[in-house]
Amino acid sequence: MDKKKYERPVILKQQSGLMNKFGSATSTQPMTDIEGVPVAELAAAYGSPLFVLSEKKMRDTQQQCQRIFRSRYPKVQFAWSYKTNYMNAVCSIFHSEGSWAEVVSEFEFDRARHLGVRGEHIIFNGPAKSAAALEKAVRAHSKIHIDHFDELYELIEITTSLGLKADVAIRVNVDVGIYPKWDRFGFNYENGEAREALKRIAASKTLRIVGLHMHIGTYIMSTEPFRVAVSKLVALANWLKQQLAIDLDYIDVGGGLPSHNTLKGQYLQADETLPALEQFADAITAPLFELESHGDAMPTLILESGRALVDGAGYLISTVLAVKRLSDGKRAYVIDAGINLLFTSLWYKHKMVPAQPTGVMREQANIYGPLCMNIDCIQEDASVPALKKGDRVVLMNVGAYTMTQWMQFITFRPAIVLITADGSPHVIRKAESLEYVMSLEEIPPSLRSLSA
């Protein structure tokens, strides 16, 4: 006689008075494959934990974004936000979709050049560009977005001494009525600092103002801040035209569009509360039609989206190491991926789904990573089906700010596999080894003979 299918015994206490009247659906469907490649095979071949990226999803999302913005404004240019995910394969995908590079450090600038990105297609942002980095950018004819007056004067010095001209924009920070106000970056609009900076640049002999740049924040959850910010940038552009007779090549509205992740403390699922991308596009593009004539053509709209384009294309395969109970009886799991890999779990409730069929009963459980640190909690009160040691799980929407902000702490950073458009997996970054990690270290001669 065939035995019955086993599911770990579960008892759930029923809570009253805590019903969610919006009734977000909870799916018990496992994710057994990623883009047609079985999760079990991926983990067996490349280890666990394992980051997996989908080329198809990146391209689909980028193309959808392009369609949405280009159907609302005639000239749109995306610039791939390197800091979001600067794996060479990932950057190559976005560049092949026509994106420029948006970099915020010499390290990222060099990566873009290494990939063959033309200098004039690199936007150099950030508050900390070294003199050497600025010189590189000037020589490459990149677009330098000036963050503060010290940088402005340094750039005048560099271009003057090199006898070269530079195409520049200023980053403008604007009050859009949201918290936090990102006024630590760029020149302020409301107090007139931005106008002073533009006048100073216009008076220089080596800098040419080609654009205005803003970036109002990250994971902006409503459209109005974008409308307000772009309106202010358009007012500044019109002032430039009237007062300094300067025509702009572009308006760069930065990034900040949200992904499908739900924030900690957010009651409803992100997909149920966030505006659609089309609504963000409406808010961003509508004020641009208030621009006064800028030469023969409208300025290009530049978008530096990163999170919204790549987060959904990233998956993290992980394995259940232990099933525990906390002192109050609450279920807890230890999995082999922690905040060393998912820094983003400090603010996101990453969706976690099993990679094999499970029972339908779900328990509230804390999901802990493998680090021997109390802070290593991927999620508290996650609703998960009964899992057992050795089960695989897939954490969703982990393509942004994970592979660039991960930590090498007490263990190695795992491999990253890209499922290419033809459905085949390729390692795009190898798992680290002890030799790799220790190759940067030196032991002083006086310590070499010591042994435990």
User: Using CB under 8 A as the criterion, which residues of the chain lie in contact with another protein when the complex forms?
Assistant: 3-14, 323, 325, 328-329, 359, 361, 386, 388
Per-residue tokens: 258: 């949200």
Buried b (16+ CB within 10 A) or exposed e, 366-396: bbbbbbeeeebbbbeebebbbbeeebbbbbb
Strand 300-303 to strand 76-81: parallel, antiparallel, or no bridges (unpaired)?
Answer: parallel
- Are the CB atoms for 338 and 370 separated by under 8 Å? yes
d(CA 353, CA 81): 28
d(CA 401, CA 415): 16
- Burial class, 440, CB count within 10 angstroms (exposed 0-12 / middle 13-18 / buried 19+): exposed
Q: Minimum Å distance from CB 437 to another protein? A: 35
Other C-beta atoms within 10 Å of 36: how many? Answer: 9
Residue with structure tokens 């053509």? 297
Q: Minimum Å distance from CB 374 to another protein? A: 22
Q: Minimum Å distance from CB 9 to another protein? A: 4
Q: Minimum Å distance from CB 325 to another protein? A: 6
Sequence length of the chain is 452
* Smaller CB separation from another protein, 4 or 448: 4
Q: Minimum Å distance from CB 216 to another protein? A: 47
In single-letter form, the type of residue at position 334 comes to V
* Smaller CB separation from another protein, 13 or 205: 13
Per-residue tokens: 360: 């339908």
* Smaller CB separation from another protein, 361 or 373: 361
Q: Minimum Å distance from CB 385 to another protein? A: 10
Q: Minimum Å distance from CB 42 to another protein? A: 25
* Smaller CB separation from another protein, 37 or 361: 361
Per-residue tokens: 138: 């000037």
* Smaller CB separation from another protein, 15 or 439: 15
Specify which residues 317 forms β-bridges with.
50, 394
Of 309, 396, 410, 424, the closest CA to residue 45 belongs to 424
What lies within 8 Å, CB to CB, of 282 at 6+ separation is 72, 223
* Smaller CB separation from another protein, 197 or 386: 386
* Smaller CB separation from another protein, 1 or 434: 1
* Smaller CB separation from another protein, 339 or 386: 386
Kind plus residue range of the DSSP H or E element containing 172 = strand 166-173
3-state secondary structure of 451: coil
Specify which residues 404 forms β-bridges with.
none
